[in-house]
Amino acid sequence: MSETKPKPKIQKTAVPIPKQKPEIRKHNFGEVALGYTAEQAHAEADRCLQCPKPQCIQGCPVEIDIPGFVKLFKAKDYGGAIRKIKEKNCLPAICGRVCPQEEQCQKFCILGKAGDPVNIGRLERFLADWETLAGIDAPRKARHTGKRVAVIGAGPAGLTAAADLVKLGHEVVIFEALHLPGGVLIYGIPEFRLPKSIVEAEADFVKKLGVEIRADCLIGRTHTIPELLKSGFDAIFIGTGAGLPQFLGVPGENLGGIYSANEFLIRVNLMKSYSFPEYDTPIRVGKHVVVIGGGNVAMDSARSALRLGAEEVCIVYRRSREELPARKEEIENAEEEGISCKFLAAPIRFIGDERGWVKAMECICMELGSPDESGRRKPVPVKGSEFVMDTDTVIVAIGRTPNPIIQSTTKGLTVTKWGTIITDENGKTSIEGVYAGGDIVTGEATVISAMGAGKKAAQAIHEYLMKK
Amino acid sequence: MFEIIEKKELAPKIKSIDIYAPAVSEKAQAGQFVILRTDKKGERIPLTLVDWNRQKGTIRLIFLEVGVSTEKLGSLKVSDTISDVCGPLGNPSEIKKYGTVCIIGGGVGTASAFPIARGFKQAGNKVVVLIAAKTANLLILEDEMKKVADEVHVCTDDGTKGVKGFAVNALKDLIDKGYKFDVVYAIGPTIMMRSIADATKPYNIRTIVSLNPIMVDGMGMCGACRVTVGGKTRFACVDGPEFDAHQVDFGELMKRQMAFLTEEKLSLQRLQEKRCSCIE
C-alpha cells in the first residue's frame, strides 16, 4: 500500500448529516437522513487517515476494504470505489443506511479516540446512490459450473448468498414467500429510513447478476426442502429470518387497536397503507398511541404512527434508557420528532370499550435487579405500583421469533428449543447440502450480520459443490 | 402473474374463477387457502381453495363481492391476470373415516365446504350436506354437492327454497329426526358458525369450523388473524384455519373482523365512484 501522509489538520468532528427538520419530517414518509453532497462526502473522506494498519475492517461483518474504497473515492474514482465495496457487499445502498456503523466499523476508527470516527456509512451510501443514478454495472459472471442452488428467502441473508453464488458460476433461484423481494428490508424497515425504491434497485441488481427470484412461493407449503433437493438443486441456503411476532400474553391483548409491530409495519411498508385509499390496505391509528418495546422496531413503529397522524406517541419500555437496544441515532430521531418514553414500566392488562376496542392499558412499574443471561439487568415488578394509561392504539414490538414452517416440514433438520436452525460456523446444517444463515440461525439480529452469514455460507456451499 | 382461465357468475355477486397456478394446484388439499393480491396496489386477501385440476394446473376460487378487493377481482375477465397467488396455505382438513359427517355451508362458505365434503366421501364416510342461503337465487353448488354427498339438504332464510330458516334450525331438525353425526363441519358467516357450535355442544358432537379473520401475510408473520381458542391465542393462518368450534371465542372474532369497517366502506365507495365517472 502506498503511503498517504495525513493532511496537516484533521477535523475532529465529522461532517454533519443533513436531515429533514423534525417538525416537517414527522408529517411525511420521505427519507429523514439525506445523503451527503459530493463536497460534504469529500470533506468527510479527507478525514480518513488511511491507516497502514486499518482497524475499521475488523468491525465490518462482511470485511469491506474500507480504506481501499475511501482512497479510490478521494481520487474521484467513484466507479472504482463502489466496485471495491461490491467485492464484499452487494447491497451498499441498504447498508449505508441501516447498518449500526457506530457498533461496527466506526467503533474501531482511530479518529474516534479523540473526536468523531470517519462517517464510513454515509460515504458508502453516497457511492451507492451515485451508482444508482449513474446506472449499475453488473460484473461479469464466472463460467457456469452446472450446479444449481436454491435460496429460501429474499431478505438480506438470501440476497447476499445468492449474489455471491451466482458470481461464482452457479445457477441460483431464490424462493420468496411474499410478493416482493427484500424480506425485512421491504416489510419491516420504514420508507423514511430506507426508501423502498432503494431495496427494489438492490434486488434488481441481484437479478441482473443472473439470479432468478420466484415470489409467492412459501417453502414448506408450495414446495418443501426435500422436494427441492429431489428436483435437481445441488444445495440449499435457508435464510427465512425471524418473522413471527411475539405477544405479551397479558389479558385483553386481542382487543381491536392492538397490533403486533409486524402487522403494523407490514401494512405500512409492504402494503403502503400510508397511501390508503390509493392503496387498498387500510391502517387505523388513533390519537394516543403506545408502543411496547425499546428496539429499532419499536422506534420504527412509533415514528410511523406519528406520521400517520397520531397526536401523541409514547414508547413504554421495561428497562431504563441505558438499556434501550435501538440505535442511538434512531432514538435521537424519535425524540426530536416528539415521541415520549416511559421507562421502567410494563403492561399487565389492556382494557377495552363496549365495541371491543382498546381504551386503556394498565402497567406496573419496574426496577432493575441483577443481570440476566443477556447481561442486562433484569426488570423486576414493583409491588403496588400499578397505573393506567389511556390509549386507543397499541403496537407490541417486543421481538420476533423464527418462522417454524421449514423446520416442521424438513425431516432431519436439527433446531434449538427456540426454533432456530443449528449450523456449524459456516452455516452447514444437519442435512447434507443444506445451509442456513441470518436470523433463522441467530434469532433476531441485524441486517449486516445476516449478510455476513449469507456470505460465509455461500463460500461454504461453493466449496461443497466444487468437491461434489 | 396468474392468468384467469375460466370465469362464471354463480349467483348475484358470487363469482367463480379458475386461475392458472400450477405450483398451488399441485399441492392443494381440502381446507387450505391462498393469499391473493389482484394488482400492485391491492390488498392481500385469503380465499379458500374450492377445487383444483392438477393436469391443467388450475385452481378454483369462489367469492362474494363484498369489498374493494373482491369487487376488483370480480371485475377481471378471462385471460386477465392477477398479480399474486401464494399457497396452498394453512393446514389441510383432517380427513379420515369417522362414520357419518354433516357438512354445513352457509352462503359463499358452501364453496369452501365443497372439497371437504368430497374428501370425507372419498374417505368412506356417509356425508350429509346442508346448504344454507338467504334466498333461493343465492344458493350455490347444489348440483356439485349432490355429486359428492349422500344427501343434500337445503334451507333458506326466507323459505324460497328448501326448509325455511337458518342452518342451525335445519341441523336441529336433522338431529331430531334421528341423524347421528360423528362430526359436524360448519363453514360460513361467523354468526352461523357460532350458532352451530352452540347447537352441537349439548349433544357433544365434535364440531369443526373454518375461521375467516382478517389476514395480511397469511403465513404467520403479522398476527392479525389471531383468535382465542381454548383460552389460548392461535393464528388462524398457520395454526388453523380449522378449529374445534366448542373452543373458539366467536365474540372476540366478530369484533376483530369489524376492525377496519370504516376504512373498508370508504375504499369501496371510492371504487364505485371511480367506476361511475368512467361510465360518464
pLDDT digits (tens, 9 = 90+) for B84-127: 999 999 999 999 999 999 999 999 999 999 999 999 999 999 99
Verify cis geometry, omega within 30 degrees of 0, for the bond prior to A156. no
Phi and psi angles of residue A105, each rounded to the nearest 5 degrees, phi first: -50, -45
How distant, in Å, are the alpha carbons of A254, A326, A352, B94, B247 from that of A356?
9, 32, 5, 33, 19
Q: Is B221 on the interface with A (CB under 8 A)?
A: yes
Q: What is the dihedral of CA B117, B123, B128, B130, to 10 degrees?
A: -10
Residue carrying C-alpha cell 403479522: B222
User: Closest Cα partner for A257 from A127, A113, A355?
Assistant: A355
Q: Is A282 on the interface with B (CB under 8 A)?
A: yes
Question: Chain A residues with CB inside 8 Å of B69's CB?
Answer: 280
Question: Chain A residues with CB inside 8 Å of B72's CB?
Answer: 280
Question: Chain A residues with CB inside 8 Å of B217's CB?
Answer: 177-178, 187, 266
To the nearest whole angstrom, how far is the Cα of B131 from the nearest Cα of chain A? 31
| Number of Cβ within a 10 Å radius of residue A114 | 8
Do residues B185 and B192 make contact, with C-beta atoms less than 8 angstroms apart? Answer: no
pLDDT for B61 equals 98
To the nearest whole angstrom, how far is the Cα of B84 from the nearest Cα of chain A? 7
To the nearest whole angstrom, how far is the Cα of B154 from the nearest Cα of chain A? 34
- Side chain identity at A417, as an amino acid letter? K
To the nearest whole angstrom, how far is the Cα of A419 from the nearest Cα of chain B? 14
To the nearest whole angstrom, how far is the Cα of A229 from the nearest Cα of chain B? 16
Instruction: Please judge whether A222 and B43 are an interchain contact, meaning their C-beta atoms are less than 8 angstroms apart.
Output: no
| Number of Cβ within a 10 Å radius of residue A19 | 14
Instruction: Please judge whether B263 and A277 are an interchain contact, meaning their C-beta atoms are less than 8 angstroms apart.
Output: yes
pLDDT for A8 equals 57
What letter would DSSP give residue B125? -
| Number of Cβ within a 10 Å radius of residue A463 | 11
Instruction: Please judge whether A243 and B221 are an interchain contact, meaning their C-beta atoms are less than 8 angstroms apart.
Output: yes
Q: Is A124 exposed, middle or buried (0-12, 13-18, 19+ CB in 10 A)?
A: buried
Q: Is A378 on the interface with B (CB under 8 A)?
A: no
In 3-state terms, what secondary structure has residue A313?
strand
Helices (H), A308-340: 328-336
Verify cis geometry, omega within 30 degrees of 0, for the bond prior to A277. yes
Query: What is the Cβ-side half-sphere exposure of residue A358, based on CA atoms within 13 angstroms?
Result: 30
Rounded distance between C-alpha atoms, residue A152 and residue A183, angstroms = 11
Q: Which residues of A349-370 are buried (b: 16+ CB within 10 A; e: fewer)?
A: bbebeeebbbbbbbbbbbebee
Q: Where are the beta strands (DSSP E) in A240-392?
A: 244-245, 258-260, 288-292, 312-317, 340-343, 345-352, 358-371, 377-381, 387-390
- Rg of chain B (C-alpha set): 18
Q: What is the pLDDT of residues A184-211, one digit of tens each?
A: 999 999 999 999 999 999 899 899 999 9
Sequence-separated contacts (24+) of A367-374 with Cβ below 8 Å: A368/A319, A368/A320, A368/A323, A368/A344
Residue carrying C-alpha cell 428497562: A319
Question: Chain B residues with CB inside 8 Å of A262's CB?
Answer: 221-223
pLDDT for B272 equals 86
Q: Is A197 exposed, middle or buried (0-12, 13-18, 19+ CB in 10 A)?
A: exposed
| Number of Cβ within a 10 Å radius of residue B142 | 15
- Please give the span between the terminal C-alpha atoms of chain A, in angstroms, as a whole number: 38
Average pLDDT for residues B255-262, to the nearest whole number? 91
How distant, in Å, are the alpha carbons of A7, B48, B73 from that of B51?
73, 9, 18
Residues in chain A predicted with pLDDT less than 50, given as ranges, are: none
Helix (H) or strand (E) holding B157: none
Closest CA in chain B for residue A257: B259
Bridge partner list, A323 = none
Cell of A130: 451515485
Bridge partner list, B247 = none
Q: Is B42 on the interface with A (CB under 8 A)?
A: yes
Q: Is B268 on the interface with A (CB under 8 A)?
A: no
pLDDT for B279 equals 60
Instruction: Please judge whether B217 and A178 are an interchain contact, meaning their C-beta atoms are less than 8 angstroms apart.
Output: yes
Cell of A188: 419491516
pLDDT for A12 equals 87
Q: Where are the beta strands (DSSP E) in B51-198?
A: 51-53, 58-64, 81-82, 84-89, 100-106, 126-133, 151-156, 163-164, 183-187
Question: Chain A residues with CB inside 8 Å of B43's CB?
Answer: 271, 280-281
Rounded distance between C-alpha atoms, residue A106 and residue A119, angstroms = 7
Q: Is B84 on the interface with A (CB under 8 A)?
A: yes
Instruction: Please judge whether A280 and B41 are an interchain contact, meaning their C-beta atoms are less than 8 angstroms apart.
Output: yes
Instruction: Please judge whether A221 and B88 are an interchain contact, meaning their C-beta atoms are less than 8 angstroms apart.
Output: yes
Query: What is the Cβ-side half-sphere exposure of residue A153, based on CA atoms within 13 angstroms?
Result: 33
User: Closest Cα partner for A101 from A40, A154, A44?
Assistant: A44
Q: Is A58 exposed, middle or buried (0-12, 13-18, 19+ CB in 10 A)?
A: exposed
Residue B277: pLDDT over 90: no
